[in-house]
Amino acid sequence: MAFDLPDLPYAYDALAPYMSAETLEFHHDKHHQAYVTNGNKLLEGSGLENASLEEVVKQSFGNNAGLFNNAGQHYNHIHFWNWMKPNGGGDKLPGSLEGKINEDLGGFGAFRDAFCQAGATQFGSGWCWLALKDGKLAVTKTPNGENPLVNGEVPLLGCDVWEHSYYIDYRNARPKYLEAFVDHLINWEYVESLYQASV
């Protein structure tokens, strides 16, 4: 099915000061729109016109680099907008997710350290993730538009560490952006809903 740019689930200025309206205007209206526009061009004639977005991502990986890059980024950004909310972040997690993080990762503090470290050490553009792998939570990172789906994992939370996601607000201070994302922006209820849907 053709790709569509979804509206942001909040106002452009709703995430300030941690993510500015200017960043969201460029990131959503220009960058995400470009993945949608280019993805739709590359979807035509690919044989995947009727596949779900998840299937396009999985089946184009390793086979059709142009389509994969745009479909992967479309998938990642649809979720990224929902992985954030005003007054989000911090350690007040829904109960079942908190228990799982304690069990598999050693608690919120250990998750926070690992997630920020993964994002800070992703060389160049990419994403850091909280994913479900063989029933266990794992913190990972991927280059460019890749995501845990291509490794047979379920993405539960991702943070965009392409410079377009933070350079206006944080310049080169990617670690500060990652800390603000974890401490003030994560929509844990959305993460919980993906976790519940996956078990």
Residues near Mn ion (CB under 5 A) are 160, 162
Question: By C-beta, is 75 or 162 nearer to Mn ion?
Answer: 162
User: CA dist 44 to 11, 37, 70, 151, 170, Å?
Assistant: 33, 11, 13, 25, 38
| Nearest Cα residue to 56 out of 117, 110, 134, 3 | 3
Residue 179: CB minimum distance to Mn ion, A: 19
Question: By C-beta, is 33 or 87 nearer to Mn ion?
Answer: 33
Residue 165: CB minimum distance to Mn ion, A: 5
Residue 76: CB minimum distance to Mn ion, A: 7
Question: By C-beta, is 60 or 76 nearer to Mn ion?
Answer: 76
Question: By C-beta, is 74 or 184 nearer to Mn ion?
Answer: 74
Residue 87: CB minimum distance to Mn ion, A: 22
Cβ atoms 128, 138 nearer than 8 A: no
Q: Closest residue to Mn ion, Cβ-based? A: 160
Residue 121: CB minimum distance to Mn ion, A: 18
Question: By C-beta, is 111 or 162 nearer to Mn ion?
Answer: 162
Residue 162: CB minimum distance to Mn ion, A: 5
Please tell me whether residue 138 adopts helix, strand or coil conformation. strand
In the chain, what is the greatest distance between 2 CA atoms, to the nearest angstrom? 47
Concatenating the DSSP letter of every residue in 26-76 gives IIIIIIIHHHHHHHHHHHTTSS-TTS-HHHHHHHHTTT-HHHHHHHHHHHH
Report the sign of the C-alpha dihedral through residues 187, 189, 190, 194, in that order: positive
Question: By C-beta, is 162 or 170 nearer to Mn ion?
Answer: 162
43's CB contacts (< 8 A; 6+ apart) are 2, 3, 49, 56, 67, 71
